[in-house]
Structure 1
Amino acid sequence: MKDWFEDWFGEEYLALYPHRDESEAQHAVDMIAAEVAGKRIDRVLDLACGGGRHTRPLADLWWTVGLDLSAVLLKVAQTAEPDGNYVRGDMRVLPFADRSFDLCVNLFTSFGYFESDAQHLRVLAEVARVVDIGGTFVLDFLNSKSVGASLVAFDEKRVGDQVVEQRRAITDGGKFVQKTISLSGSEKKFIERVRLFSVDELVMMLEESGFSVRDMKGDYAGGPLTDQSPRAVMFAVRE
């Protein structure tokens, strides 16, 4: 049986979410650049790059390669940036040599997709392997403290001639946040299911994987992380 993300991030995903926020991506990259200012950065990995909306502004600053599992999204990225560096691969088995990168970023909740925490730790172990000693890993995750308070259980929107219904719930005793996407007049449903790690759990996992968390931000403007913050952006250094 396939994992949900293997089926979801394809043509249907693009049809239902045709426009992702490019300005938001630029804000995130600007915040990262300010945080790592003064560090020598020659090579950057955008891990789970999707359609490349973060890869492009990163590549304006540094040599950058984007990796993703979705051939469909990588085609979008390559079309938007024909000279860009994009690789298809699984984040659990990265196709790069040890210590290849000075900076690795994983943005817009592109972590927590597996059922087993052992698989999440495997991802972090691979990141630790390919990031050079003293290099930086930026993990941009949802803030579990604010998810429950801000969760919208149901909404719908029109995309072309389709009505898209989205239902959200916290499941498995608070361990996962799940979104079910369905189309009016269709039996087909899609699932997004993300492990709802707390900030403390993320810090513990990063430290267990060989990183030291040096800073945490709560939004793409670089604001402090609070219980109400929309994001939990970890800046971790490879030890």
Structure 2
Amino acid sequence: MKQTESKWYATWFDTPYYHILYKNRDNEEAQNFMRQLTDYLNLKPKSHILDVACGRGRHAIYLNKIGYQVTGIDLSQNSIDYAKNFETDGLYFERHDMCQPMGKTYDAVFNLFTSFGYFEKDNYNINAIKAMKANMKPKAYGVIDFLNVHHTLKHLKSHDTKTVDDIEFKIHKWVEDGYIFKRIQFEAEGQKFDFTERLKCIDLALFKSYFEAAGLQIKQVFGNYNLEDFHPETSERLILIFQQ
């Protein structure tokens, strides 16, 4: 099965194989990041957080466990169906396009773990940020946790093979026309699969232009999940804290 070129994320993210490939993510690191981030933002208990492009909800579920109300949204129906198994009185999940406002506002709006930059055109990225703005209360904080393009390109591994749950994933990465491409080929249940992820190379300068277009101000920039200073050449992450 080979995906169509348009909206690749709508097909690949909705397959069980996406979650198999990425199943061994570091939950301890993610939880530590959430504790440090909510402390830094001084979010009060019961504050309502919107988790944009939440996937299966690993950040949202933990945020709820440490005392926050959380709504998680994602385009993948399969991911939302899975996340709904963990819903509580203060934890909700729904399928929603991140480029469209929710119609209500929140105390904080998070977009975590490189869940941005999938779109082909800049105006879609700007619309996603505008939607985050529309979802924010007047004094709310927004957060985008993206990779640091400069560091990623410097350490890009062009070919790799990973075996997870007896599935051998052959991975090829390359850079073309301002995008990082990641082709993933594998065979499962007697069928061959071929998916390609595409991520726009958005550096800090380009993000600043997006925020200016959306009428938002970047308040702080961090370079890792311990909220240490951002250094363009060495930081692994680009974590943006912003307000209206």
TM-score (norm 1): 0.91
Deviation at 1:31, TM superposition (A): 2.3
Give the match for residue 210 of structure 1.
Answer: 215
- Quote the sequence identity (%): 27
Corresponding residue pairs, total: 233
Return the match for 2:170 from 158, 165, 174.
165
Deviation at 1:148, TM superposition (A): 1.2
Q: Distance in 2 between matches of 1:230 and 1:38?
A: 25
Q: Distance in 2 between matches of 1:191 and 1:32?
A: 32
Deviation at 1:132, TM superposition (A): 1.3
**Aligned-pair RMSD on alpha carbons?**
1.8
Deviation at 1:17, TM superposition (A): 2.7
Q: Any idea what SS the aligned residue of 1:102 has?
A: strand
Q: 1:41 to 1:30 in 2, by over 3 A?
A: same
Q: Distance in 2 between matches of 1:119 and 1:196?
A: 14
Q: Deviations over 1:195-230 (max 9, x none)?
A: 111111112211321211111110001111112111
Deviation at 1:28, TM superposition (A): 1.8
Deviation at 1:177, TM superposition (A): 0.7
Give the match for residue 235 of structure 1.
Answer: 241
Q: Distance in 1 between matches of 2:212 and 2:39?
A: 23
Q: Distance in 2 between matches of 1:201 and 1:61?
A: 35
Q: 1:125 to 1:40 in 2, by over 3 A?
A: farther
- Which portions of structure 1, spanning 4 or more consecutive aligned residues, are displaced by more than 6 angstroms? 38-41
Matched, 1:130 2:146: no
Q: Any idea what SS the aligned residue of 1:54 has?
A: helix
Q: Deviations over 1:19-59 (max 9, x none)?
A: 33221220221221122026797221000000111001222
Q: Distance in 1 between matches of 2:102 and 2:242?
A: 22
Q: 1:197 to 1:186 in 2, by over 3 A?
A: same
Return the match for 2:38 from 33, 36, 39.
33
The question of whether the paired residues in 1 share the 8 Å contact of 2:36 and 2:226 is answered with yes
Q: Distance in 1 between matches of 2:79 and 2:94?
A: 11
The question of whether the paired residues in 2 share the 8 Å contact of 1:104 and 1:131 is answered with yes
Give the match for residue 150 of structure 1.
Answer: 155
Q: Distance in 2 between matches of 1:90 and 1:25?
A: 24
Q: Any idea what SS the aligned residue of 1:188 has?
A: strand
Q: 1:23 to 1:4 in 2, by over 3 A?
A: same
Q: Distance in 2 between matches of 1:28 and 1:168?
A: 27
Give the match for residue 9 of structure 2.
Answer: 5
Q: Distance in 2 between matches of 1:129 and 1:219?
A: 27
Q: Distance in 2 between matches of 1:194 and 1:39?
A: 34
Q: 1:182 to 1:141 in 2, by over 3 A?
A: same
Q: Deviations over 1:139-187 (max 9, x none)?
A: 0011011011111111101123321111111111xx1111110115864
Matched, 1:67 2:70: no
Q: Distance in 2 between matches of 1:215 and 1:53?
A: 25
Q: For structure 1, list consecutive stretches of 5 or more residues without a partner in the other structure.
A: none
Q: Distance in 2 between matches of 1:8 and 1:136?
A: 30
* 1:36-115 correspondence runs (5 A): 36-37=41-42, 42-59=47-64, 60-79=66-85, 81-83=86-88, 84-97=91-104, 100-115=105-120
Q: Deviations over 1:57-110 (max 9, x none)?
A: 22223211000011111122222x13230011101113333xx11200000000
Return the match for 2:184 from 176, 181, 184.
181
Q: 1:206 to 1:41 in 2, by over 3 A?
A: farther
The question of whether the paired residues in 2 share the 8 Å contact of 1:41 and 1:103 is answered with no
The question of whether the paired residues in 1 share the 8 Å contact of 2:45 and 2:67 is answered with no
Q: Any idea what SS the aligned residue of 1:141 has?
A: strand
The question of whether the paired residues in 2 share the 8 Å contact of 1:46 and 1:55 is answered with yes
The question of whether the paired residues in 2 share the 8 Å contact of 1:217 and 1:231 is answered with yes
The question of whether the paired residues in 1 share the 8 Å contact of 2:87 and 2:93 is answered with no
TM-score (norm 2): 0.89
